[in-house]
Chain A
């Protein structure tokens, strides 16, 4: 299980659930800017990485190695009001060649040429797909439900692929549990019961905090986490052995049984977490 590589015959599916609630306007002490800005930068960085992984030939388009989705929850900048809204051109699941071809804009790295979190190169301009947005409450259950519908359809159409990877980025308390008769834990269980022949869908959680506190990365226990950390830890999938092996191959220390969860990550750690959580094969230290 969890051994399939990403290929055009068996592409991967990576879905982000992006908290766009009002509290995401709080400052990100460890990395500057707001939590919403940091989360958007991290998602843009991983979308860029997926595009870069899929760019193979000189002058060519990206190869269809991935399908990706970004679901914002909280403020809905297009429809207005509170809810859940696909944030990649209004489409729920998008082939990576389409992402490759349609950034919102291209801009200079915000941190300048010394910003290690964006692999900045002098003179390099980088694409942006996701904007920081915040407002309203935190309908996380509805986000899992909405994304789950599309993830279910994707898995049914890709039975031999690596199972879908869903990454939830949030700063706090879910405000819609129970939703439609099920609480957050039940919605998470429904999501992770979706499967391909290579395993069940994975749900990873990134718990951002405006407070200065030590980072907790890939823990094996919820001990010491502030609320709602234990709940988010509880719904986070155990990292499959293939991801653990890849991480260890890249010289990251991860214990057996570690969960796909991170608390209070700075931007560099957040990007690192996302790289580990979206990498399933072919680690190369370039």
Chain B
């Protein structure tokens, strides 16, 4: 039986307050006894989106809930409609200005999306199944090497994709058109990372340079401060674009960790 053990690291854009971090991530490591499979999700609210924090929190909470969608086109289409309806139902009763009302009606909110579930972890068909809209990326690592990344975006393609989960019903058709599905076989000892765009782009560049050191270092990360130091160093060196960054790590183990690590 493979068990999932997830941890998330995040840091806001330099110049923003911590509460202005507009990514969001959530995970549920599953419950083998109850037949509940692990699910995890990372989303990246667009810089110009309206009330992005409410939208991204709404998306991640809904995705990892026990009622969250299966990783199929049809199920995700139904889920997109559900989350859009809930967003509209929770609209402010009154808007402070005509500009705010205009933004809510014409643009609304928007976020890139990478949602994943782990399936059949007790048998030979153990695998990840993921859905993506936009440039939040899943990396599958085995023995310190990158097996694959999903969606299979190139280093020069970040920031160019218009895909994401939007709040406007008119966005539904483009979302379903752009939705990408992927899967990969997993083994105990593998590590999955999910990163938002700026960090994902940096990971691809660094992996091409010295991937073994990179993945071992990230697999061993054990404190928010250590993550923040890496991000600060890379931003200062001009290698990491100044953006909100999020790294969700899922280690696949054969037994639950013996130690509980708390970051203080």
Contact = CB atoms under 8 A, between A and B. Distances in A.
A68 to B, nearest CB: 14
Interface stretch (B46-54, B66-74, B118-126): B46-54
Contacts of B163: 285
Interface string B42-78: 0000111111101000000000000000000000000
Contact of A52 (B107, B164, B242): B107
Q: Classify chain A: how many residues form its interface, as a range.
A: 35 or more
Interface-centre pick from B47, B98, B102, B103 (highest chain A CB count, 10 A): B102
B99 A100 contact: yes
A106 B96 contact: no
Contacts of B35: none
Interface stretch (B136-144, B154-162, B204-212, B217-225): B154-162
Q: Name B's interface SS.
A: loop
Interface string B97-111: 111111101111010
A189 interface: no
Contacts, number: 96
Contacts of A62: 99
A273 B212 CA distance: 46
B168 interface: yes
B160 A248 contact: yes
Interface string A16-48: 000000000000000000000000000000001
Max count, chain A CB within 10 A of own CB: residue among B14, B15, B97: B97
Given A283-B160, A284-B46, A55 B100 contact: yes
A8 interface: yes
Contacts of B96: 58-60
Given A8-B15, A58-B51, A284-B48, A250 B100 contact: no
Given A9-B14, A55-B50, A58-B51, A283 B105 contact: no
Given A52-B107, A59-B100, A126-B98, A284 B50 contact: no
B257 interface: no
17 contacts: A8-B16, A48-B99, A55-B97, A56-B52, A58-B92, A59-B92, A62-B99, A100-B99, A106-B98, A124-B101, A127-B99, A249-B162, A281-B159, A283-B162, A284-B48, A285-B162, A286-B49
Interface of A: 5, 7-10, 48, 51-53, 55-60, 62, 100, 106, 119, 121, 124-127, 245-246, 248-250, 281-286
Given A7-B15, A7-B16, A284-B46, 6 more contacts: A59-B95, A119-B106, A127-B99, A245-B159, A249-B162, A283-B160
